[in-house]
Amino acid sequence: MFEPFNLTGKYAVVVGGAGGIGKAIAGGLLQSGAVVGIASRNLDSLNEAADLLRKQANGRVEVFQVDASEESSIAGLAENVVKSFGRVDILVNAQGFNTKGPALEFDMTEWDRLYTVNVRGVMLCCKVFGKYMVDQGGGKIINLSSVRGIRANAGGNSAYCSSKAAVDLITKSIATELAKNNVQVNALGPVLIATKMMEKVMAEPGRAEQYTRNIPMGRLGKVEDVVGAAVFLASSAANFITGQVLYIDGGLTAAG
């Protein structure tokens, strides 16, 4: 039977796998049959996420600690993943954060910190894991971007928007370099996702309307909306798709 979304026999690592979206993607890969490793800096959060994932799906989940801002730490992560799994077929870069502030007053130390995680960390993971994928004859890299990579926002998002634009071009550039090595590199560009972290914000009067007024489908994204797209890009169904940013946005970018 042709099962293009079946990931049985595949080995995946999700950097940022203890966070809301990263953890959900890890769960989707696990439920689709992959063996999954989740990685981040906080070991307690990783263990908590791994326990939850094991309860949700009957599969193998491993925990790996990493500082995604340091090349030596990422190199160690890749070495440990390959030592544990034997290979790495799927890399998801789900690390990242947002710090808001007026452009004319933005703290450049905070700017550098954001770029270190959102841009340098993604590039380093693509570089290090990409080498393993080229050597083994193929693989999938999925970077977490945002609609903010192509749509500016006046709410103090100059650092975040520009960092996601950088992720988009890193994705496209590396995709063209590795295309002949059977390594597909794509990105997911969601609109604001209703994670648990957003619950308090969305409970504020008028916030839900503020965030959804320009979304044709009239709602925020859900984590499961991102999961399905990630599983698709990780699967053989996407073998001829590379260098793309898949927008999970309820029609926001289509509407201009």
Catalytic residues: 160
Q: Note the helical H segments in the chain.
A: 20-31, 43-56, 71-85, 108-115, 121-136, 158-178, 199-202, 207-212, 223-234
φ, ψ dihedrals at 23, nearest 5°: -65, -40
Structure tokens at 173: 């550039």
**Which residue, chain included where needed, has tokens 């999961």?**
227
Task: Please say whether the beta carbons of 245 and 173 come within 8 A.
Answer: no
Checking 111-114 for CB contacts under 8 A at 24+ apart, the result is 111/159, 114/159, 114/160, 114/163
Task: Please say whether the beta carbons of 126 and 185 come within 8 A.
Answer: yes
Nearest CA among 235, 247, 139, 153 for reference residue 191: 247
Task: Please say whether the beta carbons of 188 and 229 come within 8 A.
Answer: yes
Axis-axis angle for helices 121-136, 71-85 (nearest 10): 40
Looking at this protein, which amino acid is placed at residue 77? L
